Structures are given as C-alpha cells and as structure tokens.
Chains A and B, each alone.
Chain A
Amino acid sequence: NAGVTQTPKFQVLKTGQSMTLQCAQDMNHEYMSWYRQDPGMGLRLIHYSVGAGITDQGEVPNGYNVSRSTTEDFPLRLLSAAPSQTSVYFCASRITSPGAYEQYFGPGTRLTVT
C-alpha cells in the first residue's frame, strides 16, 4: 500500500491564483482530513470528511473548499490564494470504527503564496 499520498510536494502561487492540493489514500479509510501547519502553531484542522459525499468544517475553513466524491480522494481547493495561506498542508486518513483513532498522514505539501 502507498498509504496517504499528496501532490504536489511544493507549490508557489501568486496572490489571487487558484489551485487544488491532491490527496489520495489506498487503505479504504472512511475518514479523511486536511490540516495546515504553521511555525509555533502546530496543526490546525481545515476540513474533514467521514465518507464520500460528507464533509464538514474544522478550525480554520475560510478560504478553502473540499469535496469527497470517492472514498480514495479528498482534494483541497484554494479559490483565491492569499499570503496568509502560506503553510505546509497535511492530509490524513483513518478508519471510523469505534475506538480506531490513529491517523495516517501524508508527506505534506509546502505552499508559498507571494
């Protein structure tokens, strides 16, 4: 299994540009989530999904959109990038069985918005 994969690894955007960060997992996990990691802030939850067609907001959802059309994929869209969105983005997944909370993380996407 490849686990959780993310593309691209690095991206530079200009303010106002749009892009989609890709996330895929091959573990048949129902739960997927997106976090951003900023220096001194730890990881903050952006959006999450408990299954195909079901998404919800996390702590910092503004400026980001998500959709979940398949179990495997959970893309994160930036509609109009802002410098405040410069960060490292991590996708994670886990199963949703009771008591199963261990999350598996992707390698991250480092995004710079100029």
Chain B
Amino acid sequence: SQQGEEDPQALSIQEGENATMNCSYKTSINNLQWYRQNSGRGLVHLILIRSNEREKHSGRLRVTLDTSKKSSSLLITASRAADTASYFCATALNMFSGGYNKLIFGAGTRLAVHP
C-alpha cells in the first residue's frame, strides 16, 4: 500500500492565490521530499525536509513536517500559471521501517493555476 497520501487529489486556483497540499504517511521516516511533474514529463525534485526539521523554505515554497501526526504540507505562495503540475510527496524510510534506500511516493495532487 502507498506510504504517502496527498490531499486534495486536485486543486484549482487563480494566479496569485496560495496553494496548499497535504501529505500523510504511515511509518517512521528519515526525510520527506516533494516533487513536481509537468504533464508527460519526469519528476523534478523541489525540496527535502528531514525528520528533525519542522519547517523549510525555498523561494515561493514552504514545507512543514509534523512527525507526531505523520503529516507534511507544501505551500506555494503567489501561484503562477507555470506552477500547473502534479505534486508528489515522497518519504525516505529509515533503516527501522523498511530500509533507507527506498523512496515511497504518494498518489499526488493535481494543481491547476488559471490566469
């Protein structure tokens, strides 16, 4: 079964608005990553947050991690039409929960940003 689950499955907003996507996972992790996938393309790494971190920023991206709730959120501020893509969270398991070599992906959130 999937380790990570994103919510919502789809999100439609206007340019300039903020977009928030959530991810929940089941087992202990070493870190959690967010990736973006444009239609018909491969995935591109956006940001990584380690299990001992609570918040991280990168440009217009803000990621939070709550290990007690086994959840993370990705906030994209001041969204642009070019942000239209699918966003996936991926958890890197630690050595006690299946091996640190594995990166397990959720089903993704489809974000549509309208001009």
Contacts and interface: CB of A to CB of B under 8 A. Distances in A.
Contact of B2 (A31, A42, A90, A96): A42
Contacts of A104: 45
Contact of B45 (A40, A42, A103): A103
B107 A101 contact: no
A108 B42 contact: yes
A53 to B, nearest CB: 15
B102 A101 contact: no
Classify chain B: how many residues form its interface, as a range: 20 to 34
A45 B103 contact: yes
A105 B42 contact: yes
Interface of A is mostly: strand
A42 B108 contact: yes
Contacts, number: 59
Interface in B47-61: 48, 50
Contacts of B103: 33, 45, 101, 103
Interface of B: 2, 4, 30-31, 33, 35, 40-45, 48, 50, 88, 90, 92, 101-108
Interface of A: 4, 31, 33, 35, 40-45, 48, 50, 56, 58-59, 90, 92, 96, 99, 101-108
27 contacts: A31-B101, A33-B103, A35-B105, A40-B107, A42-B2, A42-B4, A42-B88, A43-B43, A43-B90, A44-B2, A44-B105, A45-B103, A45-B104, A48-B102, A58-B102, A90-B42, A90-B43, A101-B48, A101-B92, A103-B33, A103-B43, A103-B90, A104-B45, A105-B43, A106-B42, A107-B41, A107-B42
